[in-house]
Structure 1
């Protein structure tokens, strides 16, 4: 499988499937916190069958990619992805990100708007209320404590509910236990408590309003879905809520997810 040197000593693992010969735009699939590009295994075949070239990297610190001692932040990850597109000769892509990955693709869309044709945010890791944000320092401290993987597993419980298949729960648990603890803590801090974090709602509103491309945002929480609808600029943007799903909604409903995304992209192209 391919690797790309993108920044200093950072090397990204990625897969590159499909040709996009039918004129469909290439897709850049970006996984969430504590997982890797295998998260898109439920979707890759269907997306390539729909005529897309599909690029699925492991973010720095995750999966088979390099694990730097520092710099494991969504902003740095977005810069890595811009460099990956350069390496692959991809001028413009549709960026699809889940959870932390939705922060990463939002950074990519704001800082490099000419590289993102459209954006899909899947139960995004932003727009957190003050009450939720107040809990993050305790979580980060636990991730830096003597049992970081137990702490990560406890955090991950929030990501599932009765709709989540056991195989999905087990898969994510195994990925978390394979993660470097300092990456888990650093990435969480960068998302929610660092001075330039965009996870808290006020910071989200200020930063996400700078996205100018069409956005499809898919939520499990109707309140947060309604909140983001007011931030979207392009008239082709759309917010969808799958109430009752968990944070892993695209893994719980993969066929419906692919149908929604590919249908929306056809309408955006038209």
Structure 2
């Protein structure tokens, strides 16, 4: 564990636990793999767990370009190759959920299952329009929509500091690629045909029941399902880590039978 050279980027990652199943943990926009510190001990008790800082984030290098979900997905594929991981369960939050699903669609033989956490795809037109209009807004201001009154202050501060530490060009390039780039699947119109290509089991956590119902219609595998935690913030897995790991562990046990 430590650092790995993957093309034009140097990725920081940790590699813990062991087992027949490998979990690949993928953080969201403006965060890093520390986002998973509450979950790794539980997951590593049963699985091999790889947690990576995406290009431009955390301790990984920040190339001048290529800081977008499609390229990040290819970075992770290269990392899996370097670590001799043939198949994984891709677990992703927000932008990481987009990347996890891209791996499942573009490289289906490498992904056993996908776990998405309030993923950054399939949003209604009015949400997409609002996101595009906020393009010039400081990242810490954009981040304010991620919380509810019940969200803990420490979580807000942790992510504020991570956003301040992420290079601005990385934040801008990744943000644009989520909502308006040529391969963006932020809108429902773009996401539906793309996500319908996922053949593997998918477990998705949402805070909005409408989003959960929408994605349920796209599932191909009979073991796929959505979980809706209304009242939680966008980073629901960090607000409710014990419940999150419990649900994921139980679901992975079910689909492995």
Q: TM-score range by the shorter chain?
A: over 0.9
Deviation at 1:194, TM superposition (A): 1.2
1:116-265 matched pairs, under 5 angstroms: 116-142=111-137, 151-265=138-252
Q: In structure 2, what is the Cα distance between the partners aligned to 1:182 and 1:54?
A: 30
Alignment partner, residue 147 of structure 1 = none
Deviation at 1:141, TM superposition (A): 2.7
Deviation at 1:136, TM superposition (A): 2.6
1:83-102 matched pairs, under 5 angstroms: 83-102=78-97
Poorly superposed stretches of 4+, deviation over 4 Å: none
Q: Does 1:113 align with 2:112?
A: no
> For this pair of structures, how many residues does the alignment match?
257
Please say if residues 163 and 252 of structure 1, whose CA atoms lie closer than 8 Å, have aligned partners that are also in contact.
no
Alignment partner, residue 266 of structure 1 = 253
Stretches of structure 2 that go unaligned for 5 or more consecutive residues are none
Q: Secondary structure at the match of 1:263?
A: helix
Provide the TM-score with structure 2 as the length reference: 0.98
Q: In structure 2, what is the Cα distance between the partners aligned to 1:64 and 1:177?
A: 14
Provide the TM-score with structure 1 as the length reference: 0.93
Stretches of structure 1 that go unaligned for 5 or more consecutive residues are 143-150
Q: Secondary structure at the match of 1:261?
A: helix
Alignment partner, residue 148 of structure 1 = none
Q: In structure 2, what is the Cα distance between the partners aligned to 1:78 and 1:163?
A: 33
Q: Secondary structure at the match of 1:141?
A: coil
Deviation at 1:209, TM superposition (A): 0.4
Alignment partner, residue 75 of structure 2 = 80
* Correspondence for 2:41 among 45, 68, 78: 45
Please say if residues 93 and 118 of structure 1, whose CA atoms lie closer than 8 Å, have aligned partners that are also in contact.
yes
Q: Secondary structure at the match of 1:217?
A: strand
Q: In structure 1, what is the Cα distance between the partners aligned to 2:160 and 2:64?
A: 23
Deviation at 1:152, TM superposition (A): 0.5
Q: In structure 2, what is the Cα distance between the partners aligned to 1:202 and 1:129?
A: 9
